[in-house]
Amino acid sequence: MRSNRMGWGLFAPTLIILGIMGLLPFIYVLVVGFTDWNVFSATGKPEWAGANNFRRLVFDAEFLSSMGRTLLFTATVVVSELVLGFLLAHALLKDFPGKAVFRTIHALPLMVAPIAVGATWRLLTVPGFGIAPFFLERWFGIDYNIGSHASHAFVTALLMDIWHWTPFVTLTMLAGLSALPKEPMEQALVDGANRWQVLRHLTLPMMMPVIITTSFIRIMDALRIVDEVYLLTGGGPGDSTRFMGIYIFRVVMQRTDYGYGSAISLLVYYFTLVLCWMLFIALTQVGKQQE
């Protein structure tokens, strides 16, 4: 009646679909990454090239700068979102009339398509009729133009991401904070600890699993950002918002350099894994020291 075969039978469709759509492309990209395959190759077919693509990557200034830019972007948005989300979740712990409404509205950006977020922010900031350039000029005398100032475009991309994803962090932190036991904190306050000490030595260590999981998800999403930025700036002006995902998209879809594109994809994939693994080690070490 309850044979293992039946269990595997129920599990099989999932494994087959994810094998075809997930594992197969991964193997494919693994192989193509070691070949020379682009519009200039002699036969039009992939030719074995060994590690040539990876050698080329190391000296590709365009790729390296997009990687640095992506790292700076990721570090800035993830740290800002974690801090903001934690504070906002803390502010949602106590009950007050209208809390549910505020929380629902706060969660709204989460459900909006990244591409629509890009469109929305473009309308907000577009030179000519956007309200951001108009009021920044009028109130602060700032010549705000994301079409010509590299730094303005980059900062706008940061703000857009923080607007879009802080609610996610707030909700995960809120779920974590509401599940914490209350007694240790109350006891510590009675024993004369101040609020900062309670936060630093009790709440934060207990929240570590949630903080780590949330950071992982946000880091991985921020490293692969494409849609929002593509619609906001198209990667420009110049290369000021050309992140790794957008660079891969250009190499593969516009230059049709398949071999090289695969090599970059592999590196980005590997890089994401290593970064998350290092972060995991670092955070668990911090967690241990605090105990």
Question: Within 235-274, which residues bind other proteins (CB under 8 A)?
Answer: 244-245, 248-249, 252-253, 258, 261-262, 265-266, 268-269, 272
Rounded distance, CA 5 to CA 153, Å? 56
Which residue matches tokens 């106590």? Answer: 94
Rounded distance, CA 239 to CA 69, Å? 10
Site for other proteins in 160-189 (CB under 8 A): 163, 167-168, 171-172, 174-176, 179-180
Site for other proteins in 135-164 (CB under 8 A): 135, 163
Q: Which stretch binds other proteins (CB under 8 A): 59-67, 101-109, 150-158, 196-204?
A: 101-109
**Which residues does 65 contact at the CB level (< 8 Å), separation at least 6?**
239
Site for other proteins in 19-38 (CB under 8 A): 20-22, 24-26, 28-29, 32
Tokens of 242: 């050309």
Q: Specify the residue, 150 or 159, whose C-beta has the smaller distance to other proteins.
A: 159
Q: Which stretch binds other proteins (CB under 8 A): 56-64, 73-81, 141-149, 210-218?
A: 210-218
Q: Decide: 273 and 265 in contact? Cβ < 8 Å.
A: no
CB of 267 to other proteins, least distance (A): 9
Give me the helix-helix angle, 204-223 and 258-290, nearest 10°: 170
Q: Binding other proteins by CB under 8 A: which of 34, 86, 130, 154?
A: 130
CB of 254 to other proteins, least distance (A): 11
Q: Which stretch binds other proteins (CB under 8 A): 71-79, 89-97, 190-198, 283-291?
A: 89-97
Q: Decide: 233 and 157 in contact? Cβ < 8 Å.
A: yes
> Which stretches of the chain are assigned E, i.e. beta strand?
35-36, 47-48
Identify the CA nearest to 224 among candidates 2, 117, 66, 94: 66
Decide: is 112 part of the binding site for other proteins (CB under 8 A): yes
Q: Binding other proteins by CB under 8 A: which of 40, 59, 129, 139?
A: 129
Decide: is 11 part of the binding site for other proteins (CB under 8 A): yes
Q: Binding other proteins by CB under 8 A: which of 40, 42, 59, 104?
A: 104
- Alpha helices by DSSP H, the chain: 4-18, 24-32, 52-58, 61-91, 99-106, 108-111, 114-125, 131-135, 150-179, 183-190, 195-198, 204-223, 227-232, 244-249, 258-290
Q: Which stretch binds other proteins (CB under 8 A): 2-10, 140-148, 149-157, 196-204?
A: 2-10
Rounded distance, CA 119 to CA 104, Å? 22
Q: Which stretch binds other proteins (CB under 8 A): 124-132, 146-154, 191-199, 277-285?
A: 124-132
Q: Decide: 244 and 230 in contact? Cβ < 8 Å.
A: no
Q: Binding other proteins by CB under 8 A: which of 63, 69, 81, 122?
A: 122
Decide: is 123 part of the binding site for other proteins (CB under 8 A): yes
CB of 288 to other proteins, least distance (A): 15
Tokens of 266: 């592999």
